């Protein structure tokens, strides 16, 4: 078993090595400039996210698509993932998570633009989209055929995304839910938690995208605001330590500075590696997942939904992950017993660190953590079920949907009763494999995206309707 774990860790270290960091951060920065620093349009994007687009083609509202995407991104990565990044890469990892979020906004915009522009309809008239369809339709030659290399890119993305959905979307979330509940409420059996997860997930995902969207529209704003409020309260209680915590995060991002008595502290590469990996795990910019549901949104042109979608990265990483990082680091700075537990090796996992840190806050700390973890993980399971659903549909046709859904809830149960921290590592690997074909596609289409962004966003044509016909696929 140790040999398998070591091999998985070695693969993770390889795929998240310097080439992947250069590809990811380089793409974020390149697309930021290519789109004219689209981040400055965040106020417009936030306004659009709560604005309906009547009579526009699509299956769900722009806000519904955003909430469904946020349901998948605001998850364990925002709590356990931040803790894991701090333990593995030091406090400086929080800074790189934040930087990944700031520049990742441009990537989220670009990948969504491509997905919506090249979306298609199924035999029932429902919208389908994502990197696989952008690959398939975005590189058609003069003869009307898709080159083999584009079909390979489409198939690779769909395959890796379908596999990743079982890890990042199902097993990881249910495992994290079980861990945090068992840690704070001893005596609750893991199989009971797993059974409850299966029931809560099944009653939603078997209803399709509209049911998932309706649930997420109600759940996501409530859970996000409740968690943000809790973090703000905790930071208010730790207010004297907030500035030192922020300074430690920034300083540790660029130096081999030891923290908390030497228990935590690493060089630039480890902080960068784990910060970027957990940042991608959290906000999924460059992963290509959120554009799958964004393609179902009712929007009059690709730029409108791309602006709406990019706000997801802002809320997820720039706001929520930063708040979580400040809560954890400031609490650790002010608690010698917690530092001693870390020094003694009693706290080695992100969930344990998060639980210990939040428990130091009287009365509200533990309930906030449990409440946030359960809702965040549950919503992520719902969102990723749709992503995997669309990918297996692309690969195998509509007949594969029901078997996929059944396997998905089974994996959620198995994750609840016995999957450990190794799942985080496996999810990191599949995230990288998924991101590669998606980022390559976006970079190849970046010229078109930049040109049409100038037209729609910077030349004042956001109200213009894209009259390009949306093709219908043959039924499989």
Is the pLDDT at 144 greater than 80? The verdict is yes
In tens, the pLDDT along 409-439 reads 888 888 888 755 566 667 668 777 888 999 9
Distance CA 170, CA 151 (A): 28
Q: Is 138 exposed, middle or buried (0-12, 13-18, 19+ CB in 10 A)?
A: buried
Q: What is the pLDDT of residue 285?
A: 83
Handedness of CA 109, 113, 115, 121 (dihedral sign): positive
In tens, the pLDDT along 351-408 reads 667 777 777 667 777 787 777 778 878 888 888 888 898 899 999 988 888 899 888 9
**Angle formed at CA 383 by CA 376 and CA 132, multiple of 5 degrees:** 140
Is 128 in a helix, a strand, or coil? strand
Is 379 in a helix, a strand, or coil? helix
Question: Domains of the chain: which residue ranges?
Answer: 12-458
Backbone φ, ψ for residue 207 (5° rounding): -90, -10
In tens, the pLDDT along 243-287 reads 998 888 888 888 765 555 444 555 566 777 677 767 766 777 888
Distance CA 251, CA 91 (A): 9
Distance CA 395, CA 381 (A): 21
Distance CA 456, CA 452 (A): 6
Distance CA 315, CA 310 (A): 9
Is the pLDDT at 150 greater than 90? The verdict is yes
DSSP 38: G
In tens, the pLDDT along 181-218 reads 877 777 888 888 888 888 888 877 777 666 777 777 77
Q: What is the pLDDT of residue 35?
A: 95
Enclosing H/E stretch for 127: strand 127-128
Is 264 in a helix, a strand, or coil? strand
Q: Tell me the sheet residues that pair with 60.
A: 297
Q: Tell me the sheet residues that pair with 128.
A: 120
Q: Specify the pTM.
A: 0.85
Q: What is the pLDDT of residue 451?
A: 95
DSSP 366: H
Distance CA 266, CA 268 (A): 7
With cut-offs at 50, 70 and 90, classify the pLDDT of residue 72. Answer: low
Q: What is the pLDDT of residue 155?
A: 94
Return the C-alpha torsion angle 292, 294, 299, 301, nearest 10: -70
Do 43 and 285 meet the contact criterion of CB atoms below 8 Å apart? no
Is the pLDDT at 292 greater than 80? The verdict is yes
Backbone φ, ψ for residue 128 (5° rounding): -130, 140
Nearest to 378 by CA among 121, 100, 92, 74: 74
Q: What share of the chain is helix, strand, coil (3-state, %, to 5)?
A: 75, 0, 25
Annotation: CATH topology of 12-458: Sodium/glucose cotransporter (1.20.1730)
Enclosing H/E stretch for 120: strand 120-121
341 vs 400, which has greater pLDDT? 400
Do 290 and 309 meet the contact criterion of CB atoms below 8 Å apart? yes
- The two structure tokens encoding residue 197: 């997860």
């Amino acid at each position: 078993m140790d040999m398998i774990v070591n091999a998985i860790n070695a693969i993770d270290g390889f795929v998240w090595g310097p080439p992947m960091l250069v590809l990811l951060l380089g793409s974020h920065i390149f697309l930021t400039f290519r789109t004219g620093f689209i981040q400055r349009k965040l106020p417009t994007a936030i306004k659009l996210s709560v604005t309906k687009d009547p009579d526009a083609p699509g299956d769900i509202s722009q806000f519904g698509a955003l909430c469904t995407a946020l349901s998948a991104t605001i998850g364990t990565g925002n709590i356990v993932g931040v803790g894991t990044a701090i333990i593995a890469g030091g406090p400086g990892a929080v800074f790189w998570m934040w930087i990944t979020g700031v520049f990742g906004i441009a990537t989220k915009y670009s990948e969504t633009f491509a997905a919506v522009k090249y979306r298609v309809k199924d035999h029932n008239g429902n919208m389908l989209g994502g990197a696989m369809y952008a690959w398939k339709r975005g590189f058609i030659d003069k003869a009307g055929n898709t080159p083999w290399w584009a079909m390979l890119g489409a198939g690779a993305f769909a395959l890796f995304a379908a596999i990743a959905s079982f890890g990042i979307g199902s097993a990881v979330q249910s495992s994290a839910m079980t861990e945090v509940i068992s840690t704070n409420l001893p005596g609750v059996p893991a199989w009971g938690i797993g059974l409850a997860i299966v029931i809560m997930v099944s009653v939603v995902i078997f209803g399709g995208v509209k049911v998932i969207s309706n649930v997420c529209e109600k759940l996501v704003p409530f859970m996000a605001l409740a968690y943000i409020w809790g973090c703000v309260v905790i930071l208010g209680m730790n207010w004297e330590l907030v500035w030192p915590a922020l300074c430690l995060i920034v300083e540790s991002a660029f130096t081999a500075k030891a923290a908390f008595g030497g228990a935590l502290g690493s060089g630039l590469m480890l902080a960068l590696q784990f910060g970027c990996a957990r940042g991608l795990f959290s906000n999924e910019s460059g992963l290509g997942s959120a554009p799958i549901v964004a393609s179902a949104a009712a929007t009059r042109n690709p730029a409108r939904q791309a602006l709406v979608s990019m706000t997801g990265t802002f809320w997820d990483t720039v706001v929520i992950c930063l708040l979580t990082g400040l809560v954890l680091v400031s609490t650790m700075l002010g608690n010698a017993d917690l530092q001693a537990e870390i020094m003694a090796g009693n706290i080695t996992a992100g969930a344990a660190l998060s639980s210990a840190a939040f428990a130091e806050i009287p009365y509200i700390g533990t309930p906030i953590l449990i409440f946030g973890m359960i809702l965040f993980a549950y919503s992520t399971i719902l969102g990723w079920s749709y992503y995997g659903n669309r990918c297996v549909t692309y690969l195998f046709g509509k007949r594969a949907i029901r078997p996929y859904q059944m396997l998905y809830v089974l994996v959620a149960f198995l994750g609840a009763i016995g999957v450990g921290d190794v799942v985080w590592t496996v999810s990191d690997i599949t995230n990288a494999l998924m991101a590669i074909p998606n980022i390559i596609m976006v970079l190849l289409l970046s010229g078109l995206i930049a040109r049409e962004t100038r037209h729609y966003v910077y030349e004042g044509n956001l109200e213009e309707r894209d009259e390009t016909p949306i093709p219908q696929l043959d039924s499989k």
